[in-house]
Structure 1
Amino acid sequence: MHRRTFIKNSSIAAAGLIIQPSLAFQEDPILGQGNKRYRLNNHWSQADVARNPVNDCHEMVQDGKGRIILLTNEIKNNVLIYDKAGKLLTTWGSEYPGAHGLTIFNENGTEVLFICDNNRHQVIKTTLDGRVLLTLDYPKETGQYLKPEEYIPTETAIAANGDIYVADGYGKDFIIRYDSKGRYIGYFGGRGDEPKHLLNAHGVCIDNRDANRPCLLVTSRQQNAFKRYTFNGEYIDTIPLPGAWVCRPVIKGDYLYAAVLQSSSSLSKQSGFVTILDKNFKVISNLGGTEPLYLNNKLQEMKQAIKYFDYPHDVCVDDEENLYIAQWNSGKVYPYKLSPVI
């Protein structure tokens, strides 16, 4: 589902809902359940909106120096680089009008970025200061695309050997694979009703938590699920997340984090929360969402409990276990920071 359709459906569904009151004005509320609770700071960014505005804050990563890197589709400054206290250190980029996906990868001791641009229909590999190293155009080699406009990449994941996996999340829902030099290898996924297929393949990441069975973890957002595949694209299984339009999967340590939009059955204008799963793919905490409930080992539908987020789009987990939440379609707000409650 393209985001314009999502917003339309959100407005329709909101007419039939009683919107819960906003608690965003409360100072430093604590979100989540169990041992994954966090204190919210929605004034973390110290950037000057007049000089360094944002549009949609799409994704964030942390580099080896501890800096927090934000990607926005505001061409006055596509990339904003902060310290962990929220001080803006530097900015760059004016050529990414559809900036959406941001992945960082350590390539033989040098960190590089991979940017997915919806408008350009390309994936661009850059240095941390914005120098372009590689550009991947639409994958005509697959035989599935007649023109660039059919290809709308949303995310990348980079394997240890440098292979690049691109999720065509707003296009035809294929995962396209390249080697480290950008040479085409193959594809899998695509739309359909079989378990191996995807619907809104919004995100992809490498899951190395099981050393004996590393895999690719892919979002199937319209199906309220993550799906696992081998590195060769063979379907393994599905992790259902009822009620959750999950964005990209983010793994830190033993845990899996994801920003969540509500499913179409329960949308409101103020829609979204952050979910956290353990190593066994069990939801253990929902920040701003209902407490996870399992009946007969089956996860029940999750919902936003109260308005702390508007359309959260990504979670960045830093080296101190702080979370940073980027939001789109949210009034051009800067990211929020959440600190663990011990």
Structure 2
Amino acid sequence: MNRRTFIGQTAISISAMAVKPVFSDKKEVPFYGHNGRVYRQVKGWGELNASQFPVKDCHEMVQDRKGRILLLTNETRNNVLIYNTGGKLINSWGKEYPGAHGLTLAGEGKDEFLLITDTARHEVYKTTLDGELLMTLEFPEAAELYEKKEAYVPTETTVAPNGDIYVADGYGQQYILHYGADGKLKGWFGGRGEGDKFLDNAHGICVDKRKGDATLLVTDRTRCCFKRFTMAGDLLEIIEVPGACVCRPVIHGDLLYAAVLRSPDMNHAKSGFVTILDKENRVISNIGGSEPVYKDGKLQPMSQQTPLFIHPHDVCVDRDENIYVAQWASGNVYPYKFERV
């Protein structure tokens, strides 16, 4: 039996467990996850000389069409670090984004572009993959939703199939602002409030087309759930993830991935993990977290089980279904890579 087959069969046998050591070359290799979504950490991936290429908060990561992994950090000596999947630094750029927070990749082929939210400058920037500024979405003063610019603190964006841009004001007044591809404001929904249609810590947003028509998945992090809206902002569904203060939703294939910043609540530090949901939005695996359990169709509260992470902030899934985890306020650590087994 070759090593790959052995590892694959071992992963199946432990798929219902969070961690099980497997001996390979006389070294104990822990696996993390459940139900066929099992991973092992690649130690030392992406670590650099911090005096040359430092990071503060590693906020978000994406993979471009060339297969490169782009990391966004609020370190203004190099806001963007570009790696290959082996963890080697290819390039870096950016000195102008002190509040660099959200990183969205959109467009096709040569027309790929980035959207960067800056929580310190209260703006959103469209750039090339090399950092050339293409457009600025400024403070939406015309909406008359804010008394001052500082009340608008955008955390994430997503791009609709028609090119429209949606911005989540996750650290501000909790609105989802809808722009045309030309940067002109078209509308908004959400906002702070107590009803289901309102949001509290609308930290992340993405377009979900897994079941056909495009919809918007929006994080309601304080309430430990995702909320699904129509592209016009009408509430369709609430996806409860009890115990998990989730960051942005990341769609890859039929699955939904998310970093869980803290668990079980926002006052409990050093307790995060990564969660994975299937096409029916049932949690199937937690990396570093407790095994997902449903009773009478209801997901039971989840929590950290293995201290892999402090404050995981984003997940990037590559073409081989390996995952990369960026962390906030975690001692200036570089991203972690986990290989699927």
Three-state SS of the structure 2 residue aligned to 1:29 is strand
Q: How far, CA to CA, are the matches of 2:199 and 2:191 in structure 1? A: 6
Q: Does the Cα contact within 8 Å between 1:224 and 1:263 map onto a contact in 2?
A: no
1:220 equivalent in structure 2: 220
2:158 corresponds in structure 1 to 157
- Partner amino acid, structure 1, of 2:159: I
**Structure 2 residue 320 is the aligned partner of structure 1 residue 320:** yes
Q: How many Å separate the matches in 1 of 2:289 and 2:250?
A: 18
Residue 46 of structure 1 and its aligned partner are, at CA, apart by: 4.1
2:110 is aligned with 1:135: no
* 1:269 CA drift (Å): 3.4
Alignment of 1:275-314 (within 5 A): 275-314=275-314
SS at 2:275 equivalent = strand
**Closer, same or farther: CA 27–175 of 1 in aligned 2, 3 Å:** farther
What's the CA shift string for 1:235-267, capped at 9, x where partnerless? 111001101100000000000000002345585
Aligned to 1:97: 98
Aligned-pair CA distance for 1:29 = 2.4
Partner of 1:73 in structure 2?
Answer: 74
Q: Is the 8 A contact 2:47 2:334 kept in 1?
A: no
For residue 11 of structure 1, what is the aligned residue in structure 2?
A: none
Which amino acid counterpart does residue 83 of structure 1 have in structure 2? Answer: N
TM-superposed CA distance for 1:70, in Å, is 0.1
Listed one character per residue, the Cα deviations across residues 11-37 of structure 1 (whole Å, up to 9, x for unaligned) are: xxxxxxxxxxxx9xx965211111100
Aligned residue runs from structure 1 range 102-141, under 5 A = 102-106=103-107, 109-141=110-142
Counterpart of 1:258 in structure 2 is 258
Correspondence for 1:232: 232
DSSP-derived class of the 1:141 partner: helix
Distance 2:78 2:29 in 1: 29
Aligned runs of 1:32-71 on 2, under 5 Å? 32-71=33-72
User: How far apart are residue 138 of structure 1 and its match?
Assistant: 1.1
Residues 122-153 of structure 1: CA deviation (Å, up to 9, x unaligned): 00000001010000111112211121100000
Deviations 1:263-315 (A, max 9, x none): 45585432100000000000000000000000000000000002001100000
CA distance in 1: counterparts of 2:148 and 2:50, whole angstroms:
37
Secondary structure of the residue that 1:222 maps to in structure 2?
helix
Which amino acid is 1:101 matched to? G
- Provide, for residues 204-254 of structure 1, a one-character-per-residue CA deviation record: whole Å limited to 9, x for no partner: 00001011x320000000110000000011111100110110000000000
**Is the CA contact (8 Å cut-off) linking 2:31 and 2:39 kept in structure 1?**
yes
Q: Secondary structure at the match of 1:271?
A: coil
Q: Bigger shift: 44-53 or 266-275? A: 266-275
TM-score by length of 1: 0.90
Q: Map 1:323-334 onto structure 2 (within 5 A).
A: 323-334=323-334
8 Å Cα contact 1:169/1:202 also seen in 2: yes
Displacement after TM superposition at 1:40 (Å):
1.0
Coordinate RMSD, CA, aligned: 1.5
> Distance in 1 between the 2:118 and 2:261 partners?
21
CA distance in 2, matches of 1:244, 1:94: 33
2:219 partner SS: strand
* Secondary structure class of the residue paired with 1:149: helix
1:161/1:273 CA distance change after superposition, 3 Å: same
Which AA in structure 1 matches 2:334?
Y
* Structure 2 letter corresponding to 1:203: G
CA–CA distance in structure 2, aligned partners of residues 125 and 28 of structure 1: 41
Give, as a single letter, the amino acid of the residue that structure 1 aligns with 2:192.
R
* Per-residue deviation, 1:41: 1.9
Q: CA deviation at 1:47?
A: 2.1
| Correspondence for 2:147 | 146
CA contact (8 A) 2:101 2:155 kept: yes
Question: 1-side partners of 2:315 and 2:46: how far apart?
Answer: 15
* TM-score, normalization by structure 2: 0.90
Instruction: Describe the SS at the equivalent of 1:113.
Output: strand
- Checking the alignment, whether the CA contact within 8 Å between 1:266 and 1:303 is kept in structure 2 is no
**What are the ranges of 5 or more consecutive residues in structure 2 without an aligned counterpart?**
1-20, 22-26
| Kept in 2: contact 1:28–1:41 (CA 8 A) | no
SS at match of 2:60: strand
8 A Cα contact 1:314 1:326, kept in partner: yes
Query: What is the percent sequence identity of the aligned residues?
Result: 55
User: 2:203 corresponds to which residue?
Assistant: 202
- In 1, the alpha carbon distance for the partners of 2:336 and 2:323 equals 8
The CA distance in 1 between the partners of 2:43 and 2:241, in whole Å, is 27
* TM-aligned CA distance change 1:210 to 1:312, over 3 Å: same
Q: Using a 3 Å threshold, how does the CA distance of structure 1 residues 184 and 70 change in structure 2: closer, same or farther?
A: same
